[in-house]
């Protein structure tokens, strides 16, 4: 960049600077418009959560209200503290589910990337095919099967189907291939390390950036999932945040006072994931995704 600008400045200084200024304003404006588009609903919900039910329908949408504390108190009192339970359930489903899923994917990805064995390609392409089958389409058949063994309605019915992630396995394989050198593994074997020790002590530390990515994708995926828990669960106390807020909203069409609760609940539910994402953002290796199709 510096080379071309320098050359331009030497030949036609005046024209170059105005062109550069004009060339900077439009792209920046479009980009900021995009940022505004993405932020407006978030700003709106934060403002709306501060309004009492009366203010919600009477004052200008972007002027803050006076009811934030009352809304929060009502929200956590609703249904005997159900909102807090939904939040904890979501943390449980997404946290435990994503952690287990990342572990299983790392094992399989490492095995598929670093060993040659009979059936390896069949397993890999079988799992790759699973990427194309939308998880949601599976929810109904999964319900049917889990109801056969009497697991529907339990925490397991949401946790277990969330663990298997064909895409996570695929990413772990791509990442293990790229990040774990065969020479290191061989050196460890010569030193007498067992295969499980090699995985835990050598492969996993080398794969950490990729594993963080897989964990985050899985965490967000489970946290955002609606249909699976919606189908599997009937006990409101086991609902995750998404299903809980939905029931709150569905009831709200009858009683407008519940709208304030739904809005405050939505606002609060965004915060933890937002914080987690912003903290982990720099560990993300999303080039893993874009590079994936080439290989």
Partner 1 sequence: MTTSSHAAPALTTTSGRGLPDRPPPRRRRRSWAPYAFVAPAVVLFVVFLLLPIGYAIYLSFQGLRLAPGGAFGRRVQVFVGLDNYKAAVTDPEFLAGFGRLAVYGLIAVPFTLGLALLFALLLDHPRTRARRFSRTAIFIPYAVPGVVASLLWGFMYLPSTSPFSWVSEAVGGGAIPFLDLPLLFPSIANIAVWGGVGFNMIIIYTSLRGIPVEIHESARIDGASEWQIARRIKVPLVAPALVLTGLFALIGTLQVYGEPTTLRPMTDSITQTWVPLMTIYRDAFTRDDLPLGSASSVLLALGTVVVSLLLLRITQKRAFGENG
Rounded to whole angstroms, what are the CA distances from 175 to 23, 80, 108, 225, 284?
A: 39, 46, 12, 26, 13
Per rule CB under 8 A, is residue 293 in the interface with partner 1? yes
Neighbours of 125 (CB within 10 A): 10
Q: Which among 146, 151, 109 is positioned nearest to 128, based on CA atoms?
A: 109
In the region spanning residues 24 to 53, those forming contacts with partner 1, defined by CB under 8 A, are 24, 27-28, 30-32, 34-42, 44-45, 48
Per rule CB under 8 A, is residue 291 in the interface with partner 1? yes
Per rule CB under 8 A, is residue 289 in the interface with partner 1? yes
Residue placing its CB nearer to partner 1 in the complex, 98 or 263: 263
Secondary structure in 3-state letters for 54-81 = HHHHHCCCCCCCCCHHHHHHHHHHHHHC
Tokens 């956590």, residue located = 76
Residue placing its CB nearer to partner 1 in the complex, 224 or 257: 224
Return the residue of 163, 171, 211, 233 that touches partner 1, per CB under 8 A: 163
Handedness of CA 245, 88, 230, 95 (dihedral sign): positive
Return the residue of 4, 18, 69, 235 that touches partner 1, per CB under 8 A: 4
The interface region with partner 1, picked from 65-73, 81-89, 204-212, 276-284 by CB under 8 A, is 276-284
Task: Tell me the C-alpha distance between 291 and 59, whole Å.
Answer: 49
In the region spanning residues 123 to 142, those forming contacts with partner 1, defined by CB under 8 A, are 123, 126-127, 130, 132-138, 140-142
Neighbours of 10 (CB within 10 A): 9
For residue 152 the two structure tokens come to: 């529907």
Per rule CB under 8 A, is residue 182 in the interface with partner 1? yes
Per rule CB under 8 A, is residue 278 in the interface with partner 1? yes
Residue placing its CB nearer to partner 1 in the complex, 80 or 194: 194
Return the residue of 3, 10, 14, 69 that touches partner 1, per CB under 8 A: 3
Residues near partner 1 (CB under 8 A), total: 111
Considering the complex, what minimum distance in angstroms separates the CB of residue 87 from partner 1?
12
Considering the complex, what minimum distance in angstroms separates the CB of residue 233 from partner 1?
12
Considering the complex, what minimum distance in angstroms separates the CB of residue 39 from partner 1?
5
Tokens 């590079």, residue located = 291
Residue 127 near residue 169 (C-beta atoms within 8 A):
yes
Task: Tell me the C-alpha distance between 92 and 265, whole Å.
Answer: 18
Per rule CB under 8 A, is residue 280 in the interface with partner 1? no
Return the residue of 185, 207, 211, 233 that touches partner 1, per CB under 8 A: 185
Tokens 């609940």, residue located = 265
Task: Tell me the C-alpha distance between 103 and 207, whole Å.
Answer: 11
Per rule CB under 8 A, is residue 253 in the interface with partner 1? yes
Q: Which among 286, 269, 289 is positioned nearest to 45, based on CA atoms?
A: 269
Considering the complex, what minimum distance in angstroms separates the CB of residue 4 from partner 1?
5
Annotate each residue in 63-102 with x if it binds partner 1 (CB under 8 A) or - if it does not, as one string. ----------------------------------------
Q: How many CA atoms lie within 13 A of 262 on its CB side?
A: 19
Per rule CB under 8 A, is residue 12 in the interface with partner 1? no
């Amino acid at each position: 960049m510096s080379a071309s600008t320098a050359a331009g400045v030497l030949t036609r200084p005046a024209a170059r600077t105005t062109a550069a200024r004009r060339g900077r304003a439009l792209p920046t404006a479009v980009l900021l418009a995009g940022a505004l588009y993405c932020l407006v609903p978030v700003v709106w919900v934060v403002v709306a959560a501060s309004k009492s039910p009366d203010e919600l329908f009477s004052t200008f949408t972007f002027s803050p209200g006076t009811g934030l504390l009352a809304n929060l108190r009502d929200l956590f009192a609703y249904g005997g503290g159900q909102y807090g339970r939904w939040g904890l359930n979501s943390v449980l489903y997404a946290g435990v589910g994503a952690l287990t899923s990342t572990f299983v994917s790392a094992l399989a990805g490492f095995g598929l990337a670093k060993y040659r064995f009979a059936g390896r390609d069949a397993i890999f392409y079988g799992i790759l095919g699973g990427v194309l089958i939308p998880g949601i389409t599976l929810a109904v058949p999964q319900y049917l099967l889990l109801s056969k063994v009497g697991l529907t309605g339990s925490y397991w019915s949401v946790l277990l189907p969330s663990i298997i992630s064909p895409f996570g396995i695929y990413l772990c394989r791509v990442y293990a291939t790229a990040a774990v050198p065969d020479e290191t593994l061989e050196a460890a074997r010569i030193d007498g390390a067992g295969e499980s020790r090699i995985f835990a002590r050598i492969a996993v530390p080398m794969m950490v950036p990729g594993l963080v990515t897989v964990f985050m994708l899985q965490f967000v995926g489970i946290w955002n999932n609606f249909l699976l828990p919606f189908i599997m669960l009937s006990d409101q106390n086991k609902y995750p945040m998404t299903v809980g807020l939905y029931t709150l909203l569905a009831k709200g069409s009858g009683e407008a006072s519940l709208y304030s609760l739904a809005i405050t609940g939505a606002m609060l539910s965004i915060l933890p994931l937002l914080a987690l994402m912003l903290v982990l953002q720099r560990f993300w290796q999303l080039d893993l995704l874009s590079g994936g199709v080439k290989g």
